[in-house]
Amino acid sequence: MKTSFKTLFLLFVFSVAMGFLESAVVVYLREIYYPHVFSFPLVNMDYNVLITELLREAATLLMLLSIAILAGRNRAERFAFFLFCFAIWDIFYYVFLWMLIGWPATLLEWDILFLIPVPWAGPVLAPCLLSLTMLCYAVSILVLQHRRCPVMIKFRDWSMMITGSLIVVLSFTIPYLNLMAVTPDRTSSGELMQ
């Protein structure tokens, strides 16, 4: 099965555009909640804004998944396209933030990376490295597909990827989980590290 360059190019364009949309939303949120500079502890968000932000994040994942399913012709290709789109989206999110507001000044600055199921925090470098890893894996699957070498992701492979992903998620969510353990009355997403 051959993946056309046109398909990959259009997925790239879609993902870059998604990265811009994501960064535009964050520019607006930072203008409202952090008019001078983004920093920890986080400011409490209005409940409606917080719910909207959680739903927007879920919608973003659904959009990336949907475009990958539409573009792919088999499970391996769909999975590779999802990883490809996710990685490009995430990298360009930070590229556009830097272009629009000059943030982050360095890749070691900490950010709120995600809010689902609880807030994820870490240096910007971490999701960038993960995205580059996903991009390499996606491209390797697509190259094998292009060479007509069928890629079968077996149960063991899925188990290892899911376990690795859970370890990564835990590494980003431990600050919030520690906060919940110490101060269980302050567990909303808007109260991370306050």
- The pLDDT of residue 129 is 96
Model pLDDT, residue 59:
97
Confidence at residue 182, expressed as pLDDT on a 0 to 100 scale: 66
Domain ranges within the chain, ordered by starting residue: 5-191
DSSP 74: S
Phi (first) and psi of residue 137, to 5 degrees: -65, -45
The answer for residues whose C-beta is within 8 angstroms of residue 38's C-beta and 6 or more apart is: 30, 103, 111
Read off the DSSP letter of residue 147: T
pLDDT of residue 175: 76
- pTM, two decimals, is 0.86
Q: How does pLDDT run along the chain (194 residues), one tens digit per residue?
A: 456 889 999 999 999 999 999 999 999 999 999 888 888 777 888 899 999 999 999 999 999 999 999 999 999 999 999 999 999 999 999 999 999 999 999 999 989 899 888 888 889 999 999 999 999 999 999 999 888 888 888 899 889 989 999 998 888 888 777 766 666 555 444 454 44
Secondary structure string (H, E, C) spanning 6-50:
HHHHHHHHHHHHHHHHHHHHHHHHHHHHCCCCCCCCCCCCCHHHH
Q: How far apart are CA 184 and CA 34, in angstroms?
A: 26
- At 194 the pLDDT is 42
